[in-house]
């Protein structure tokens, strides 16, 4: 008989505990997502904005590195660049392949 009474007491205690815990969990999740935003999402957005600004500033005559190959920009298109990598050798690359502009 004591075992039945002990089970009832444990069940009552367990049923009342999670009601107050939902707010703690919600606050914990908000803090975790806030930290992720501050340390991962926000810096990545800033880097992407700087990269886009760099791509938009490319003009004829700039020396660039695209896909590991250095060359001089000969023509700028909307999505592509024509780069001279050697005298008389011009290749067309996607703007997103550009890693650096000198």
Decide if pLDDT at 13 tops 60.
no
Q: Which residues contact 67 (CB under 8 A, 6 or more apart)?
A: 93, 97
- Burial (CB count <10 Å: 0-12, 13-18, 19+), residue 54: middle
Strand partners for 76: 81
* Residue 78 and residue 39 in one domain: no
- pLDDT averaged over every residue in the chain: 85
Q: The pTM is what?
A: 0.66
Same domain for 41 and 77, yes or no, is no
7, 44: one domain: yes
CA gyration radius, the chain: 30
- What is the distance between the alpha carbons of residues 45 and 24, in angstroms, rounded to a whole number? 30
Number of domains in the chain: 2
Shared domain check, 50 and 39: yes
Give bridge partners of residue 91 from the DSSP assignment. 83
- 17 and 46 inside one domain: yes
In this structure, the answer to whether residues 52 and 65 fall within a common structural domain is: no
pLDDT at 6 over 80: no
Q: What is the pLDDT of residue 24?
A: 87
């Amino acid at each position: 008989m004591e075992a039945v009474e002990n089970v009832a007491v444990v069940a009552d205690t367990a049923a009342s505990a999670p009601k107050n815990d939902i707010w703690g969990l919600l606050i914990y999740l908000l803090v975790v997502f806030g930290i992720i935003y501050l340390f991962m999402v926000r810096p990545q957005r800033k880097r992407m904005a700087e990269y886009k600004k760099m791509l938009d500033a490319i003009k004829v005559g700039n020396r660039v590195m695209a896909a590991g190959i250095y060359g001089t920009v000969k023509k700028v298109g909307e999505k592509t660049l024509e780069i001279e990598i050697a005298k008389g050798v011009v290749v067309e690359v996607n703007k997103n392949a550009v890693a650096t502009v000198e």
